Amino acid sequence: MTCASFIGEGAGGEGEVTSSGDTPVGAPESHVLRVLVTGATGFIGSHVARALIASGATLRVVHRPDSPTGLIDDLPADRVLGDILDPLSLAEACEGMEGVVHCAAQMRGQGGLPARLESHVLGTRNMLAAAVGAGVRRFVCTSSVAALGIPPHPPADTDAEAPLLDETHEWRGDPALWPYGYAKHQAEQWVRRAAQEGLGALIVNPALVIGPGDRNRVSNILIWQILHGRVPPLIPGGLNVVSVEDVAAGTVAALARGRPAERYLLCGQNRTLADLIRTTARLVGRPEPRLRLSLRATRAVAALAAAAARLLHLPLAPELLRQAGVYFYYSGDKARRELGLAAPRAYEPAALASADWYRRRAAP
C-alpha cells in the first residue's frame, strides 16, 4: 500500500467510496497496544485517551504547541508536538505506533466550508498517509452522525413519524448550509479508500455527545446555557444524545473489533428538543420554560438564524436551527451487535456530570 491516494489530490476529491463488505461479521479482536490519539486535548479525545489507558494501551498524544492540555495533564502519555495540517510532524508522531485514533478537527471557527474541508478532510488524509507510512495496523476515525446529513422526512411538530437513521444512510443536504456535516462526510470517503487499499481503517459516528470536559461548549451548549439561566423556549425537533463515556468505550471497542471500511453509529437516547430542554432545566435547578414555539413560528425565527441563536440562546447552531422540526434520530444496533457494546447510558447522569464540571470551573 502506498500513500499516493492521500497526498496527490485536492481536499473534497470527487471519488465516492463505499464499503466493499468483504470482511466477515465477527472479525477477530485486534490487540493494539501502542496507540496514538489526535485531539486528545479536546472533549471526546481526552475521554478516549483515558479509556485506552484503562484498557491497557500505551498512549501517545499529538497536539499543537498552543493547545490547552488541562484535560490530560494527569495522564501517563508520551507527548509529541504536531498539527494534522503538518505532515512531517505526523510522521514522527506515528512512528512505532500500532493504532491511531483520530479525533482532532476544527469544531468552531471562521471560514465556512473551505476551513471545514481543510481541517476535517485534509487533516484526515494527512493522518491516513502518516499512519500508512509508519506501518500502523488499525485506524479509527472519529466522524459524526452529522456525516449522514439531513434525515429524509419533512419537518413536523412531533416525532410520531420520525425514522431511525443507520449506517446505510448517506449524505443528504446542502454543503453550504451544513459545512461541518459535509466535511465529515467527505473525510469518511478517504478512510474507506484507505481501508480498501489495505489499512485497517474504520469510522465511528457519535451522536450529540454529553458529559464533562466540553471546554468549548459545542455539544453541551444547551446545558451550559440553562445552567446560566438562559432557558430557551420549547421548539419542535429532536436529537440523539449519547454519554461521552459510551463514546469512549465504543471507540476503544471499534479499535479492537471494528471491521475495516465500516462505520459504527455511537448512539444513546432519541429525545425531543422540548424534552431535553425541560429535563435539563429541572436537573440544574432552573424553572422549566412555558413558551412553546410551533414549527411555523420556529422556522420564521430561523429566517434570522444567526441573530436568533444569540438572542434566544437556542441549543442548535444556526445551520441546524434552519432544520427546526427535523428529528435527528439514529439506531446504534450495529455498533452494539458487532462491537459488543452495552445498552447506552441515560441522558440525565451525563448532563448532571457536565453541569457539575461547568460549576467547578466557574468556582473561585
Count Cβ atoms below 10 Å from residue 326 Cβ, excluding itself. Answer: 22
Which parts of the chain have pLDDT scores under 70?
A: 1-30, 32, 106-111, 303-321, 364
Residue 352, pLDDT score = 98
Rounded CA separation 300/322 (Å) = 9
Rounded CA separation 102/99 (Å) = 10
Torsion angle in degrees (nearest 10) through CA of 141, 145, 148, 149:
-130
Q: What backbone phi and psi angles, to 5 degrees, belong to 202? A: -150, 180
Rounded CA separation 61/294 (Å) = 46
Q: Do the Cβ atoms of 234 and 277 come closer than 8 Å?
A: yes
pTM of the model: 0.89
All structural domains of the chain with their residue ranges: 32-274+325-362
Q: Using the CB atoms, write b or e for 73-112: b if 16+ within 10 Å.
A: eebebebbebbbebbebbbebbeebbbbbbbbbbbeeeee
Q: What element of type H or E holds 6?
A: helix 4-7
Rounded CA separation 184/181 (Å) = 5
Question: Cα angle vertex 261, ends 259, 263, to 5°?
Answer: 80
User: Can you spell out the DSSP letters for 288-308?
Assistant: PP--B--HHHHHHHGGGHHHH
Residue 304, pLDDT score = 64
Rounded CA separation 139/204 (Å) = 11
Cell of 32: 493494539
Single-letter amino acid code for the residue at 69: T
Rounded CA separation 260/172 (Å) = 24
**CA 24 to the chain's CA centroid:** 26
Residue 116, pLDDT score = 78
Residue 314, pLDDT score = 53
Residue 323, pLDDT score = 79
The CATH homologous superfamily of the domain defined by 32-274+325-362 = NAD(P)-binding Rossmann-like Domain (3.40.50.720)
Residue 307, pLDDT score = 58
- Beta partners for 32? none
